[in-house]
Chains A and B, each alone.
Chain A
């Protein structure tokens, strides 16, 4: 890394809303996480030497020993707040990183259901397209725009599709979304509304990926999770950065989060190690990373359970957690190493446990999540029962997707009691019992 010591420039950005600041990125190079090969901050999908994943490196010397509140005061409450720790996105674009900081909600009633004392929920269900994918998509598209790309796209099981199409609107770029054929309209309607071009490919997600990979090159599309992958994964760091700021830079004992490709978990680990490096959080053991995959598609969790260094891909994922049905996790090895290094765990609950966890969260805290996030809550419950998570632990769960996105899932719509039918002329109101206060988790349906 270059030993540059320039102070990051803080200045009013041209043409942005008042109070929006443009802060210079401290990113310096791309480095292969497998072999250490370094390249410039350009569009590189993977390491030219070994094809391993590339990660952005930073020269953090100017932030080392700084006081976070001094540094961050006056900045907008959006992901652009952490611009030093993001790729260079050029002035007008960083001003458009308009994703507002999401709430970190204390969850005492869920904590009781889980059997732990302190739980916070990082609530990304409130993001514009209902999932955390707005973060990586926004950062990757802003980088693509800064690099002069004329179109962007993604390969997606659904959530990233909506997020990329939205980010493309913000950057005034056309968007191509490669999806496995047969996704429900609830996942594709946002893409249509945002004016994205849907490209259907017969077969599971991995096949859509392969075709997007070829199209990216042939058509010059900046595919956020393929050709822009190193920048895309940086966007996912902001979930952890916001969480630590909300906790006053006082790390929790554990962070529970979903594993699809493993990119979010790997990014979370990078955020933690960068915050340690600049001294904003203490060095020494950090939070245990608790990764969660559904049992019908758990290649990373299976490797963890087996104590293996080999991740065996799953050809035909079978799970209600469609967002996590990534059989060949591209960041799986990084995620597995990060989990082990944090003394964390990986786990794979069943669909029934996921459905029960979604219901428990909805009825204790009033937050409706999709199965990807239900999986995380189910894992917390299982790891608490197994003793991996202790009662006194302070735990954060990342709620990465909203429930309304998957209301098509039959298994999920069958929770709750049957509707009461009333005659419009002679409604039999005796059918309406107002009993005792509802048990938050009403066991019997």
Chain B
């Protein structure tokens, strides 16, 4: 299963998507997020995308790695991937 994990600020606009599991998904991160935001509706999509780019303050992790260190929206998503959508944080 491909699992989607949402930070609470994102959950508010699409509670049913949090920890949702997608059976047999295979494709790019862009395709995955398109699928997800088709379910979440335009306001959810607007929190993830700025035009056709990921929002500046949204961090997307695939299996724990920030996708900016992978292939961005082209990062492959498999049936066992875990995708976390989390806002950026302050320093430590």
Query: Does chain B have a CB within 8 A of A260?
Result: yes
Compute how far the CA of A262 lies from the CA of B56 in the bound complex, rounded to whole angstroms: 15
Residues in chain A near residue B91, CB distance under 8 A: 160, 225, 260-264, 326, 329-331
Residue among B8, B57, B61, B89 making CB contact with A217, cutoff 8 Å: B8
Known contacts A49-B47, A203-B64, A333-B56: A214-B5 contact under CB 8 Å:
yes
Compute how far the CA of A390 lies from the CA of B66 in the bound complex, rounded to whole angstroms: 41
Compute how far the CA of A71 lies from the CA of B14 in the bound complex, rounded to whole angstroms: 48
Residues in chain A near residue B58, CB distance under 8 A: 51
Complex interface residues of chain A between 194 and 213 (CB less than 8 A to chain B): 203, 205-207, 209-210, 213
Residue among B47, B57, B66, B92 making CB contact with A156, cutoff 8 Å: B92
CB–CB A34/B64 < 8 A: no
The total of interchain contacts (Cβ-Cβ below 8 angstroms) comes to 103
Name the distance in Å between A174's Cβ and chain B's nearest Cβ. Answer: 19
Residues in chain B near residue A45, CB distance under 8 A: 7-9, 87, 89
Residues in chain B near residue A263, CB distance under 8 A: 90-91
CB–CB A205/B92 < 8 A: yes
Residue among B8, B9, B61, B68 making CB contact with A210, cutoff 8 Å: B61
Compute how far the CA of A206 lies from the CA of B60 in the bound complex, rounded to whole angstroms: 12
Complex interface residues of chain B between 32 and 80 (CB less than 8 A to chain A): 46-47, 50, 55-59, 61, 64, 66, 68-69
Compute how far the CA of A129 lies from the CA of B87 in the bound complex, rounded to whole angstroms: 29
Query: Does chain B have a CB within 8 A of A356?
Result: no
Query: Does chain B have a CB within 8 A of A233?
Result: yes
Compute how far the CA of A225 lies from the CA of B90 in the bound complex, rounded to whole angstroms: 5
Query: Does chain B have a CB within 8 A of A257?
Result: no
User: Which B residue's beta carbon lies closest to that of A203?
Assistant: B64
Compute how far the CA of A159 lies from the CA of B91 in the bound complex, rounded to whole angstroms: 11
Known contacts A213-B7, A217-B7: A232-B66 contact under CB 8 Å:
no
Residue among A53, A209, A210, A233 making CB contact with B92, cutoff 8 Å: A209
Residues in chain A near residue B90, CB distance under 8 A: 53, 225-226, 229, 232-233, 261, 263, 330-331
CB–CB A207/B89 < 8 A: no
Complex interface residues of chain A between 39 and 53 (CB less than 8 A to chain B): 44-53
Query: Does chain B have a CB within 8 A of A100?
Result: no
Compute how far the CA of A15 lies from the CA of B59 in the bound complex, rounded to whole angstroms: 45
Complex interface residues of chain A between 41 and 91 (CB less than 8 A to chain B): 44-53
User: Which A residue's beta carbon lies closest to that of B68?
Assistant: A313
Query: Does chain B have a CB within 8 A of A352?
Result: no
Residue among B46, B57, B66, B87 making CB contact with A206, cutoff 8 Å: B66
Compute how far the CA of A263 lies from the CA of B68 in the bound complex, rounded to whole angstroms: 22
Name the distance in Å between B77's Cβ and chain A's nearest Cβ. Answer: 18
Compute how far the CA of A44 lies from the CA of B55 in the bound complex, rounded to whole angstroms: 18
Residues in chain B near residue A52, CB distance under 8 A: 56-57
Compute how far the CA of A326 lies from the CA of B90 in the bound complex, rounded to whole angstroms: 10
7 contacts between A and B (CB under 8 A): A34-B56, A48-B9, A50-B50, A52-B57, A157-B92, A210-B59, A232-B90
The 3 closest A-B pairs by CB, nearest first: A261-B91, A156-B92, A51-B57
Chain A residues engaging chain B, CB cutoff 8 angstroms? 34, 44-53, 154-157, 159-161, 203, 205-207, 209-210, 213-214, 217, 225-226, 229, 232-233, 260-264, 312-313, 315, 326, 328-331, 333
A45-B7, A226-B89 known; 20 new pairs, CB 8 Å cut-off, are A34-B56, A46-B87, A46-B88, A49-B47, A50-B50, A50-B57, A51-B58, A51-B88, A154-B92, A210-B84, A213-B86, A213-B87, A217-B7, A225-B89, A229-B89, A232-B90, A261-B89, A264-B91, A313-B66, A331-B91
